[in-house]
């Protein structure tokens, strides 16, 4: 048995070194008749993923849109794209970034880099209220409301921070969104120091962003200043690790140039183990110094908030299991995933079992807290859990997912951790993140795994040099993993979250009775427009298939303020409002009022029209913006 496993493992290693991909399936001993019987009962792959016309998927899949600045939503298991939620980039399809409110949220930025969506939680379980996402590029986070799938808040740029990649990780009761900086810069922001002084003059930051329990509103709570380690991925604790959060660093070398080589020198980098409850308490006790308006903790002066943990070479993912006891972290440059036992971590902290100190922060004794190094395969990145005692690690270099058994391990398993690797499946190609529904909660769903692959290498009709990203659906209900479906997305998914569809009941119209917008108008006859010198204000009603008023007159140079209400109370009847030549397209949902302000900066007659098909007479839903030459005296309208 032992020989067989070892032989398989070395074959796999050899094959992956030669080809860059490997398939473990034939080697695993898990092709038992019981597995085959259970997969037969489940039906064919097509049957398992087919959602007939008119039927609905069981799950929502929210996946990051990377540098598109958006979030993609699909149904599972069909993998059908449902909607794209614009977050950090304008979207004419939904009018996002055109009306005053969303334009103000976006500020001067036109894009973002979304990596990690995080669902809000209550008692360690998804509560279906909000989805938080990060912007790696411009140091922001955003909150999407799952009642209407719209971005409601963008917080940032976060002070004293550069490169908000290790984000957004939600604590057990959504007390905080915990985020860490990928880059380090001289602080305070805007101070110059030469890059050569990186190790001494640059700093990174870990931040606690407070979540208002009622509204979900985000605000900056506190920060912990760190050496210029590049903080990478993170996660939050639960159970025994409740109140803790974890980030890996891929550059404890503190290299500032040629990172590919210079940040890969040490055999072990550090992870940060952060006691966020202790940080919160320290700030309350006045142990923080203010920097750019934020209480910032120096961990050398406040013992107990930060510990370093040595971790496999150039780590990326660090993931806490559903029990909160086991923490799996993977070093990209070593073929193992390291499992830490948080109970031992706590004991090591209590007994001060430190192996070193770095700038006043204790480094925990690796040998005392590690449970084992599981030989998962080449290029391990991220780990997810099925809630049935198994972990699944993505293998970038090997283009595979490894399934392995979490501790507690038997003596035989402990003596040879290859025994804990239960199965492996090839993916196409070079997987980054993977996701199992609820993996970061106390009770994962444990039925589907989505592999988010970085490359698709010709597995679909060619659309030119840039090929769509490939996402693959894997059934993990049997002992062996089974590939059942493959779909493609726009660039570029990183992480994702899966939510049971019955956890939310999105609203279908904004009830007129609940509108508290003072600028709303609910009938064509109530619609008004007024002009005072330099300014035209119109309250526009949109209803199938007319705008009221359908002529708005301004003088060149006027500021035009339009408040447009979609009077409809019928689901899915959307109106748009675009002005030809004015680069403007507002989309208004049923019962919604949106405002848009612009300058009438050119003389002429500019047709406006409804952009969203709404009735048989949709084409007739139009009007005119007249912009007259400036008059000498103040003229009244009409």
Residues forming the site for ligand K7E (CB under 6 A): 115-116, 165, 233, 316, 381-382, 432-433, 494-495
CB closer to ligand K7E, 282 vs 381:
381
Please report where in the chains the tokens 């912990």 appear, as a residue: 224
Out of 421, 621, 625, 627, the only residue in the binding site for ligand CUA (CB under 6 A) is: 621
Which of ligand CUA, ligand K7E, none has residue 433 at its interface (CB below 5 to 8 Å by kind)? ligand K7E
Out of 210, 618, 624, 626, the only residue in the binding site for ligand CUA (CB under 6 A) is: 618
Task: List b or e across 240-253, with b for residues whose CB sees 16 or more CB atoms inside 10 angstroms.
Answer: bbebbbbbbbbbbb
Out of 170, 333, 434, 610, the only residue in the binding site for ligand CUA (CB under 6 A) is: 610
| Shortest Cβ 67–ligand K7E spacing (Å) | 11
- Name the pairing type of β-strands 289-291 and 202-211: unpaired
Which of ligand K7E, ligand CUA, none has residue 381 at its interface (CB below 5 to 8 Å by kind)? ligand K7E
Rounded-to-integer distance, Cα 65 and Cα 620, Å? 36
Q: Which CA distances in Å does 257 have to 194, 268, 481?
A: 12, 19, 41
Contact positions with ligand CUA (CB under 6 A) in 337-356: none
| Shortest Cβ 198–ligand CUA spacing (Å) | 56
CB closer to ligand K7E, 140 vs 316:
316
Give, in degrees to the nearest 5, the angle at Cα 63 between 129 and 136: 95
| Shortest Cβ 307–ligand CUA spacing (Å) | 59
Contact (Cβ atoms closer than 8 angstroms) between residue 617 and residue 593: no
Site track for ligand CUA across 568-587, x = CB under 6 A: -------x------------
Rounded-to-integer distance, Cα 520 and Cα 569, Å? 14
Which of ligand K7E, ligand CUA, none has residue 165 at its interface (CB below 5 to 8 Å by kind)? ligand K7E
Beta bridge partners, 150, equal: 145
Rg of the Cα atoms in the chain: 27
Q: In what order do the strands lie in the sheet with 361-364?
A: 231-236, 244-249, 268-275, 306-312, 361-364, 354-358
Q: Which residue is nearest to ligand K7E (CB)?
A: 432
CB closer to ligand K7E, 294 vs 381:
381
CB closer to ligand K7E, 420 vs 497:
497
Which of ligand CUA, ligand K7E, none has residue 121 at its interface (CB below 5 to 8 Å by kind)? none
Stretch that binds ligand CUA, among 81-89, 202-210, 227-235, 614-622 (CB under 6 A): 614-622
Q: What's the 3-state SS for 85-148?
A: EECCCCECCCCECCCHHHHHHHCCCCCCCECCCEEEEECCEEEEEEEEEEECCCCEEEEEECCC
Rounded-to-integer distance, Cα 309 and Cα 345, Å? 9
Cis peptide before 401 (omega within 30 of 0): no
CB closer to ligand K7E, 433 vs 479:
433
**Which among 263, 261, 243, 244 is positioned nearest to 253, based on CA atoms?**
263
Out of 589, 612, 623, 627, the only residue in the binding site for ligand CUA (CB under 6 A) is: 612
Q: How many CB atoms lie within 10 A of CB 532?
A: 11
**CB-neighbour burial class of residue 257 (10 A; exposed 0-12, middle 13-18, buried 19+):** exposed
Which of ligand CUA, ligand K7E, none has residue 494 at its interface (CB below 5 to 8 Å by kind)? ligand K7E
CB closer to ligand CUA, 50 vs 613:
613
| Shortest Cβ 565–ligand CUA spacing (Å) | 12
| Shortest Cβ 574–ligand K7E spacing (Å) | 34
Contact (Cβ atoms closer than 8 angstroms) between residue 434 and residue 446: no
| Shortest Cβ 562–ligand CUA spacing (Å) | 15
613 near ligand CUA (CB under 6 A): yes
Q: Which CA distances in Å does 249 have to 192, 276, 332, 345, 397?
A: 24, 18, 12, 18, 20
**CB-neighbour burial class of residue 601 (10 A; exposed 0-12, middle 13-18, buried 19+):** exposed
User: Residues in the chain, how many?
Assistant: 638
| Shortest Cβ 622–ligand CUA spacing (Å) | 9
Rounded-to-integer distance, Cα 218 and Cα 63, Å? 21
Which of ligand K7E, ligand CUA, none has residue 610 at its interface (CB below 5 to 8 Å by kind)? ligand CUA
| Shortest Cβ 524–ligand CUA spacing (Å) | 13
| Shortest Cβ 586–ligand CUA spacing (Å) | 12
| Shortest Cβ 68–ligand K7E spacing (Å) | 14
CB closer to ligand K7E, 102 vs 470:
470
CB proximity list for 459: less than 8 A, separation 6 or greater: 428, 470, 486
Contact (Cβ atoms closer than 8 angstroms) between residue 336 and residue 345: no
CB closer to ligand K7E, 382 vs 428:
382
Q: Dihedral sign, CA of 328, 378, 183, 450?
A: negative
428 near ligand CUA (CB under 6 A): no
| Shortest Cβ 185–ligand K7E spacing (Å) | 19
Out of 170, 614, 625, 627, the only residue in the binding site for ligand CUA (CB under 6 A) is: 614
| Shortest Cβ 166–ligand K7E spacing (Å) | 9
| Shortest Cβ 610–ligand CUA spacing (Å) | 3
Q: In what order do the strands lie in the sheet with 390-395?
A: 380-385, 390-395, 400-405, 421-426
**Which among 120, 165, 166, 132 is positioned nearest to 440, based on CA atoms?**
120
Which of ligand K7E, ligand CUA, none has residue 612 at its interface (CB below 5 to 8 Å by kind)? ligand CUA
Contact positions with ligand CUA (CB under 6 A) in 497-556: 545
CB closer to ligand K7E, 479 vs 494:
494
Site size with ligand CUA, rule: CB under 6 A = 8
Which of ligand K7E, ligand CUA, none has residue 575 at its interface (CB below 5 to 8 Å by kind)? ligand CUA
Residues that bind ligand CUA (CB under 6 A): 545, 575, 610, 612-614, 618, 621
């Amino acid at each position: 048995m032992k020989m067989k496993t070892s032989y398989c493992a070395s074959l796999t290693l050899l094959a992956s070194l030669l080809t860059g991909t490997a398939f473990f399936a034939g080697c695993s001993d898990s092709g038992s008749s019981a597995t085959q019987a259970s997969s037969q009962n489940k039906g064919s792959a097509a049957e398992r993923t087919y959602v007939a016309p008119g039927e609905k998927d069981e799950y929502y899949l929210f996946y990051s849109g990377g540098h598109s600045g958006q979030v993609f939503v699909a149904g599972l298991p069909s993998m059908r794209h449902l909607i794209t939620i614009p977050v950090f980039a304008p979207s004419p399809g939904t009018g996002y970034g055109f009306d005053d409110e969303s334009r103000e949220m976006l500020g001067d930025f036109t894009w973002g880099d979304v990596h990690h969506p995080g669902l809000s939680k209550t008692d360690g379980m998804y509560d279906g209220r909000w989805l938080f996402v990060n912007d790696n590029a411009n140091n922001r986070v955003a909150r999407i409301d799952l009642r209407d799938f719209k971005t409601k808040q963008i917080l940032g740029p976060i002070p004293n921070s550069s490169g908000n990649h290790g984000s957004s990780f939600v604590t057990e009761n959504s007390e905080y969104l915990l985020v860490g900086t990928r880059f380090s810069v001289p602080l305070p922001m805007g101070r110059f120091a030469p890059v050569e002084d990186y190790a001494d003059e640059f700093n990174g930051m870990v931040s606690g962003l407070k979540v208002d329990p009622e509204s979900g509103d985000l605000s900056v709570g506190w920060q912990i200043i760190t050496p210029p380690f590049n903080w990478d991925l993170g996660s939050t604790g639960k159970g025994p690790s409740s109140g803790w959060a974890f980030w890996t660093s891929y550059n404890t070398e503190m290299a500032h140039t040629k990172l590919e080589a210079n940040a890969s020198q040490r055999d072990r980098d550090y992870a940060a183990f952060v006691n966020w409850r202790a940080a919160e308490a320290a700030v309350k006790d006045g142990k923080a110094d203010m920097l750019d308006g934020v209480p910032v903790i120096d961990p050398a002066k406040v013992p107990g908030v930060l510990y370093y943990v040595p971790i496999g070479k150039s780590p990326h993912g660090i993931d806490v299991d559903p029990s909160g006891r086991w923490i799996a972290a993977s070093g990209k440059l070593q073929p193992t995933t390291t499992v830490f036992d948080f109970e031992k971590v706590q004991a090591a902290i209590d007994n001060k079992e430190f192996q070193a100190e770095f700038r006043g922060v204790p480094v925990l004794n690796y040998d005392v807290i590690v449970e084992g190094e599981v030989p998962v395969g080449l290029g391990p990145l991220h780990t997810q859990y099925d809630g049935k005692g198994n972990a699944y690690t993505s293998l970038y270099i090997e283009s595979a997912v490894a399934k392995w058994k979490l501790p507690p391990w038997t003596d035989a398993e402990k003596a040879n951790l290859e025994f804990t690797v239960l199965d492996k499946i090839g993916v196409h190609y070079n997987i980054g993140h993977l996701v199992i529904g609820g993996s970061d909660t106390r009770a994962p769903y444990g039925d589907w795994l989505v592999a988010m692959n970085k490359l698709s290498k010709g597995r679909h009709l060619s659309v030119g040099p840039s090929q769509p990203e490939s996402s693959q659906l894997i059934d993990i209900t049997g002992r062996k993993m089974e590939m059942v479906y493959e779909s493609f997305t726009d660039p570029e998914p990183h992480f994702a979250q899966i939510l049971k569809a019955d956890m939310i009941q999105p609203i279908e119209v904004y009830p007129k009775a609940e509108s508290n917008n003072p600028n709303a108008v609910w009938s064509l006859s109530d619609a008004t427009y007024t002009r005072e010198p330099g300014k035209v204000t119109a309250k526009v009603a949109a209803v199938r298939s007319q705008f009221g008023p359908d002529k708005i007159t301004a003088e060149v140079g006027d500021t035009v303020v339009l408040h447009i209400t979609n009077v409809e109370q019928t689901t899915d009847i959307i109106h748009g409002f675009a002005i030809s030549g004015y680069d403007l397209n507002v989309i208004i949902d049923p019962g919604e009022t949106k405002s848009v302000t612009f300058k009438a900066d050119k003389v002429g007659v500019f047709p406006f029209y409804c952009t969203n098909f709404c009735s048989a007479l949709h084409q007739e839903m139009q009007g005119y913006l007249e912009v007259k030459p400036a008059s000498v005296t103040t003229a009244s309208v009409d």
